[in-house]
Chain A
Amino acid sequence: MTSPRARALVERPAGRLSAALVVALVVGATAFGWPLFLRPASGMPSQLAPTVFAVALVLVLAVVLAELSGGRMDSRTLAMLGVLAAVGTVLRPLSAGTAGLELIFFVIILAGRALGPSFGFALGTITMLTSALITSGVGPWLPYQMLCAGFVGLFAGVLPRASGRSEIVLVAAYGVVSAFAYGWLMDFSFWPFALGDGTQLSFDPTAAPLANLHRFVLYNLATSMGWNLGRAVANAVLIALLGPRLLAMFRRSARTVDLAAPGSRAIAAPVE
């Protein structure tokens, strides 16, 4: 009588999960892109928009995480998630020291690529949360960071098939693109936060969307281009250098597990 095989860690998102993710995309688009289509005739000052939408984002994150993990993740996936989030947590304070190069994204991207989009989303979210707890980075920006990092992991998992060299090139290119996208989205939603509304580059509720966009681009060029470039370079370099080994390690761990001494997988090899 044979027994069931253990499930692999790689999962494909279930149908109901996609509904939650679609909602997350919609809400995320609203929350990140509000300067483009918010026309406040009156109402609360636009500076408070990030905090207001942060409430909706917290709910979205709770819903998506509940759907991803609630009753569905088994112990191996969860342990892998926790340990990789620990890696990210350890890397984040290091990033501050190395001239603002963000070191956490390459782990999220590679894990999303090897272990699937839902794992990538969960890893991005949880890494941001845990590292914020450790480095006192909890603030109204945290839900935005969590969702953004989650999407970085998610889309890394839906990249087209490739293998060998072309895979590394593909993932590294995605690393560059996602670095800029992350920077732009975060800046866009927190643009009024940073500038207020008394400067020439601030968000102007009365102006047309294109004019606002123009202002934002200038603001971004002046301030965050350096960070974005640094992040993109860090991603590309780390993925190119460490990518092949890491992808192999992730994929191997998804297959079999050995109970013998930590690190030793001598399953059927006696001492020679």
Chain B
Amino acid sequence: MITFDRVSITYPDARRPVLDDVSFEIAEGDLCLVIGATGSGKSTLLGAINGLVPHFTGGRLAGRVLVDGRDTARFRPRDLAEVVGYVGQDPVRGFVTDVVSDEIAYGMEQLGIAPAAMRKRVEETLDLMGIADLRSRPLGELSGGQQQRVAIAAVLAARPEVLVLDEPTSALDPTAAQDVLSAITMLVHEVGLTVVLAEHRLERVMHAADTIAWVRPDGRVDLGRPADVLARSSITPPLAALAHELGWPQVPLSVREARRRVLAEDIRPPLLAEPAPTHTEPVLVASGVEVRYGDVDAVAGVDVQLRPGEVTTLLGRNGCGKSSLLWALQGALTHAGDVVVDGLDPARLPALRARRLVTLVPQTAADLLYAPSVGEECSAADAESGAEPGTTASLLHRLGIHVEPSRDPRDLSEGQRLALVLAIQLSARPPVLLLDEPTRGLDYAAKADLTRIVGELAASGVAVLISTHDVEFAAGVGTRTLLMADGELIAEGTTIDLLTSSIAYAPQLAKVFAPSPVLTASDIAGSVREPIAEVAP
């Protein structure tokens, strides 16, 4: 169905090609998962299937890309619209109209399909994706998962044979991601589409993939069976880390497979020591925090205590009020209730002083960047924090990012941008750091870096609160966990206790080794394989 024949793609201002002499074939009806580090060329690969690269983006394409026999060099993206359906990274930015049914009909209008046929297809597509009751809703009112399904429906209406999706679940919480992924697998198994999917969070979709294409840093692509490719790739989802740790040649693709193997080899993880309870005074005490938007209660009476040196994670569905709580704690959002940090209320302080008490790195970190170069951002941050000139730049180096000061912040990758914003916010040396969904768009290596950085910060005495819905990341980074739902705090405790006892929020390895409490791959280092005679105390 899709053939890449010695394809090399070089962008106009780049020194090296993004993809270098790539040849592979994706069979019809396959679900192919494309993995790779951030900025490694996954988007370029997906765009090449559609013809967007090079017709839309510019650049040179050497070699041939054939989709259903058509050569993308001769067919522009619009000519391939009924062969390849392409859904970009942020579906909201791709919406042309503002009502669901109009959006689905838009593609067909462009292709000149008769109105009667359009009506029928719109209804069929709505039913297929399970969004029939959203028919006349405005697009802006939908949730993230619904918007993603509308975006898929919109390209399905042209009845393509191939569906290309660029990180469809990156912004979604686990429930919504599951909806979207089950819709996608239904399309593969029931409708017979060929789906090519790029994802960072592999753990949810690994078991459904027929092939995995790993885009390597040197520009080559390694395509093969999932269990094999994951074993040799540098992208390590939790189950691959488990396989590496236990020395398995093939990576188990699902929790069930891993569990069976663990039980068959009778592997018992070592008992984890309970984290020593800290008795230090909390540096941030919040009681009865309430945030209202009109008549909606976003946060309804939440009490939080953060201790220095402790990393706390805040879990919950999208829309349960995590962001509102964090903004309220920083003092940037009007709220009822008390927040006391080092004896002061950040909401009553001017912004500059509040920043030196509690800093927040928001969801879209790029909102904080405005200068045209990295160097200017750093010097501006130094001025705002009242720190020595050069503090921010050295912080950036310590975080492991080495970029030229003249680069435009908008040109950096997600991970680099996050690190830059982190450096800027940390230059104020606050005792409390709040991170709102920092893992969006980060691959496993970047997440591991972030975990290391947060660990170093905690070791130096900063109290960190991270809100996330990435349980794997939460399992590795924090010692305490808070669970929020519907604006209220419904559970609070150590990460191990909370995550291993919950069904929805258990990381994959916890499910594999249940009921033994295991969170991450490092927890099983030193596991015992043979059965032992006496029971350990």
Contacts and interface: CB of A to CB of B under 8 A. Distances in A.
| A and B touching (Cβ–Cβ under 8 A) | yes
Given A256-B12, A270-B40, A271-B38, A261 B441 contact: yes
B93 A262 contact: yes
A255 B401 contact: no
Residue among B43, B46, B61, B400 facing the most chain A CB atoms (10 A cut-off): B43
Interface string B359-383: 0000000100000100000000000
B54 A261 contact: no
A268 interface: yes
Given A257-B56, A266-B38, A3 B61 contact: yes
A258 interface: yes
B528 interface: no
Contacts of B54: 3-6
B43 A259 contact: yes
A264 interface: yes
Interface string A248-268: 100000011111111111111
B244 to A, nearest CB: 20
Contact of B413 (A256, A257, A264): A264
Contacts of A72: none
Contacts of B415: 271
A271 B58 contact: no
B259 to A, nearest CB: 32
B62 interface: yes
B61 A264 contact: no
Contacts of A270: 37-40, 217, 413
B501 to A, nearest CB: 34
A270 B235 CA distance: 14
A3 B414 contact: no
Interface stretch (B13-21, B202-210, B344-352): B13-21
A3 B445 contact: no
B410 A263 contact: yes
Contact of B414 (A76, A256, A261): A261
A264 B412 contact: yes
B402 to A, nearest CB: 6
A143 B39 CA distance: 48
Chain A interface, DSSP helix/strand/loop, else mixed: loop
Contacts of B88: 259
B308 interface: no
B57 A258 contact: yes
A74 to B, nearest CB: 9
A101 B61 CA distance: 49
B246 interface: no
A259 to B, nearest CB: 5
A256 B58 contact: yes
A269 B404 CA distance: 12
A87 to B, nearest CB: 15
A261 to B, nearest CB: 6
B527 to A, nearest CB: 31
A259 B38 contact: no
Contacts of A1: 62-64, 73
Contacts of B73: 1, 3
B60 A6 contact: no
Given A3-B61, A261-B414, A272-B416, A267 B56 contact: no
A245 interface: yes
A233 to B, nearest CB: 25
B372 A245 contact: yes
A124 B46 CA distance: 36
Contacts of B56: 6, 76, 257
Contacts of B40: 270
B412 A266 contact: yes
B443 A6 contact: no
A1 B63 CA distance: 6
Interface in B40-78: 40, 43-44, 46-47, 52-64, 73
Contacts of A263: 366, 410
Contacts of B416: 266, 269, 271-272
Given A1-B62, A257-B56, A259-B43, A268 B37 contact: no
B353 to A, nearest CB: 28
B146 interface: no
A164 to B, nearest CB: 15
B414 A264 contact: yes
A256 B57 contact: yes
B102 interface: no
A256 B52 contact: no
B18 A267 contact: yes
A255 B416 CA distance: 24
Given A1-B73, A259-B44, A272 B400 contact: yes
Interface string B422-443: 0000000000000000000101
A267 B11 contact: yes
A246 B441 CA distance: 28
A144 B14 CA distance: 47
Given A3-B60, A6-B57, A257-B58, A269 B412 contact: yes
A271 B57 contact: no
B14 A268 contact: yes
Interface of B: 11-16, 18, 37-40, 43-44, 46-47, 52-64, 73, 88-90, 93, 166, 217, 366, 372, 400-403, 410-417, 441, 443, 445-446, 449
The 3 tightest CB contacts between A and B, nearest first, are: A266-B413, A266-B39, A6-B58
28 contacts: A2-B60, A2-B62, A3-B54, A4-B55, A5-B54, A6-B57, A245-B372, A256-B12, A256-B13, A256-B57, A256-B58, A258-B11, A259-B44, A259-B88, A260-B43, A261-B414, A264-B410, A264-B417, A266-B39, A266-B412, A267-B13, A267-B18, A268-B39, A269-B413, A270-B37, A270-B413, A271-B39, A271-B446
